[in-house]
Amino acid sequence: MSMIKATVNNSTTISIKDSIINNKDRKVDLVKISENNFHLLLDNQSFQIQSISYNYKERKVILIVNGNEYELVIKDKIDLLLQEMGINVTLSTKHNQFKAPMPGLIKILSVVIGQEVKKGDVLIVLEAMKMENALKAVADMKVKNILVNTGQAVEKNQLLIERE
């Protein structure tokens, strides 16, 4: 198993790698009982776990453990590496600004002000470390303002596009 970090109920973070939890070697035995039900023995303590929901995009899982509900946000090895590098590869649907995830050069600007774009459409191609990175819309949107030009160098977190 590779490293996983889980934030429980937006407060406690636990690190898990093999049977090491928060840098402590633990006795772990997990058995799948049915599609959404599990039994966990952790250091000889018994836990009944029911998986209620899983949101792949947000990496959120809702579990009921011994009758108590918990929300976990899970980050795997790739998520942790991207976070460590300071790269956010998606445009949040909650914000009206689209910022550069890394420093680079605007190679292609694929949109114009007022343009309606669909989720998955390429907005900008950013060249960074001799690689071209297509920055795509993660939601349907309308371009309100474009703050960069083709050929322009940009810094990480520099504002590129505003949306309505």
Query: In whole angstroms, what is the distance from residue 70 CA to residue 72 CA?
Result: 6
Residue 58 has pLDDT above 80, yes or no: no
CATH of the domain at 135: 2.40.50.100
Structural domain boundaries, residue 121: 87-163
Identify the pLDDT of residue 93: 42
Domain shared by 107 and 155, yes or no: yes
Identify the pLDDT of residue 111: 94
Domain shared by 66 and 16, yes or no: yes
Q: Enter the pTM of the model.
A: 0.48
93-152 residue pLDDT tens:
445 788 888 889 999 999 999 999 988 888 999 888 778 888 888 788 899 999 999 999
Dig out the tokens for 153 from the structure.
Answer: 């160098």
Decide which of 78, 99, 126 is a domain's last residue: 78
Query: In whole angstroms, what is the distance from residue 59 CA to residue 55 CA?
Result: 6
Identify the pLDDT of residue 59: 80
Domain shared by 59 and 123, yes or no: no
Dig out the tokens for 2 from the structure.
Answer: 């590779």
Number of domains, the chain: 2
